[in-house]
Structure 1
């Protein structure tokens, strides 16, 4: 961790424990405590106490590389639970309660690894969005409470590596609720999608590399 808000940046903390590449991290403050979670090629999800500079939890349920980790705002806001969501090359998405050292849910059924995650609250329901590594590399979303696939986007032909869910009412959406996904991919494009209709609204080209 670095202090980037001062004239001379300095290293604040170093967290060691993973035995292979760290693919993704997320940060959150829960009950006035600061936490970082991390996912690694060592197949583990780890949780770090920032204030005390130590690892407090390690989860070994994935059988392949952990590609993405996110703190679940849904579980904290509605149930005061300290929960992490992780996606993996083992084709699963899992939820972990790191306060009680417990795996809560596993989403199965995908035929290739899941490379990314994002949460979006809308219409009173909480969804988790992911990028699925598949022949057509679909994006999908799931209702956490019901646990099923609710929509699919089809345009990509190579791996999607990042998505962000945003509310945009001024980009010419006809119908729909104005909720959109912005995605970036190895095909060198950025695309904007309408969540309700699953239609592609815009595509931005110009990058020469991934």
Structure 2
């Protein structure tokens, strides 16, 4: 008994997530707070000044939320129909919004009634923004027109009708008072100068444009439409720099981090992807429960707010770093770390303290030859799901002792269901297959006589058979591919290349070294 050696659990390589600085940074956002709105959330916009309140446009209302409030602190509901694109001015004192009836409304953030109502569009206004001088509003509508409005006088300054389909997005430059961009369902992105009578630049996105975004420097423009995100260089006449296709469905929204080094995109595929603006590679992603229509990042990067088609507003806050008390000066601390930096001398004698090894429960059962109880122990739901390698190692040890058949025999319907469920899940995994196939054969030998006596067991046996049939079919396809590769290698190896009058054979890898991904059954 004293010579018992615990079961050795083999360690298998795991394909885990690559841990980067971005992974650590974006995982610091806490569990989201979810707020139910009256309809699909079509626009989220943060106030550019502290406190970081944000406007949420949904249905016929615009709600203003505080940084940590779960109820709106203010509501604008003076809309006759669906409201769109509630947007803050640069000083955070005014809010502009469009409406399904074609009216652009301007609100004082501290008031309720509209300060101005701009009439001129004949269809729904889906985009509004303030110019950087804060005295004009730019709007785009489903009537294919873009307009510039004067705030003090409440009049229309200019109209542009160059698009041939709905104008659904746009933005104004924060550096140039007269520059603004519009995106349309006619697949084009146009750059306008309010001092000119027509657009000064046109880019072909090749998909209906859902969102556009100007970098703070004003030199780069990002457009999103369909599955594509495209980055344009305005300083080179609208030259396409990069085209990204990392989403599976339409990209609906874009936003930048405060530093401009990270670009965020939301899509109908329920994902938010984060790109590095240095190489435009995905550095992190978030998953959500429903399709995403709107996305915003707080000016201080402390909040990520996402609006979805099911009317849910998802708010994530960054975790605040807690300051830990300084315990290094406490007397107890000095007592316990005393001598930790001592360097042993040549004549010192080391006295090692024996470390007591605690034996696992299944090891204690195996030491007492209780193989059935040990197998039951490792087939518990928590063990078999979180550490299947432990279950397989114990099965292998029981098989090595020659008592696997005894351990599997004499089980009721519940216990047999656990064994079959485990086999169905892991029998085709390469790391477990050699052991579990042997276990499956013994289960079939023992319980072949009870088939057709329990509907639950019969279904599990059929699922196991289906799993094995699919794996065998997969292996046959791999063997066919391997045969094709052998033929190609043999054909290529027969060719001789003549270089500079010398005959040299092409070096071909040995096809016998090519191994299948999964073991044959």
Give the TM-score of the pair, scaled to structure 2.
0.34
**5+ unaligned residues in a row in structure 1: which ranges?**
169-177
Which residue of the other structure, out of 144, 167, 175, is the alignment partner of 2:234? Answer: 144
The equivalent residue for 1:127 is 220
2:136·2:151 contact (CA, 8 Å) conserved in 1? Answer: yes
* 1:41 corresponds to 2:123: no
Give the Cα–Cα distance (whole angstroms) in 1 for the partners of residues 173 and 198 of structure 2: 14
Give the Cα–Cα distance (whole angstroms) in 1 for the partners of residues 139 and 117 of structure 2: 13
Give the Cα–Cα distance (whole angstroms) in 2 for the partners of residues 40 and 163 of structure 1: 20
| Match runs of 1:25-36 below 5 Å | 25-30=128-133, 34-36=135-137
Give the Cα–Cα distance (whole angstroms) in 2 for the partners of residues 17 and 101 of structure 1: 18
Equivalent residue pairs, number: 186
Which residue of the other structure, out of 185, 188, 191, is the alignment partner of 1:92? Answer: 188
The equivalent residue for 1:196 is 278
Larger Rg: 2
1:39·1:67 contact (CA, 8 Å) conserved in 2? Answer: yes
Give the Cα–Cα distance (whole angstroms) in 1 for the partners of residues 162 and 212 of structure 2: 18
Q: Deviations over 1:14-59 (max 9, x none)?
A: 11111111111111242xx511111111000111111111111110
* 1:72 corresponds to 2:167: no
* 1:118 corresponds to 2:208: no
Q: Note the C-alpha offset of 1:64.
A: 0.9
Q: Note the C-alpha offset of 1:119.
A: 0.8
SS at match of 1:90: coil
The equivalent residue for 1:175 is none
SS at match of 2:116: coil
Which residue of the other structure, out of 239, 248, 251, is the alignment partner of 1:160? Answer: 251
Single out whichever of 14-23 and 181-190 deviates more from structure 2: 181-190
Give the TM-score of the pair, scaled to structure 1.
0.80
Q: Deviations over 1:80-126 (max 9, x none)?
A: x6122111111111111213323211113x3222221111145xx71
**5+ unaligned residues in a row in structure 2: which ranges?**
1-105, 291-307, 310-521
2:137·2:150 contact (CA, 8 Å) conserved in 1? Answer: yes
Q: Note the C-alpha offset of 1:180.
A: 0.9
1:4·1:10 contact (CA, 8 Å) conserved in 2? Answer: no
Give the Cα–Cα distance (whole angstroms) in 1 for the partners of residues 258 and 138 of structure 2: 27
Q: Note the C-alpha offset of 1:167.
A: 4.7
Higher helix residue share: 2
1:28·1:34 contact (CA, 8 Å) conserved in 2? Answer: yes
Q: Note the C-alpha offset of 1:130.
A: 0.6
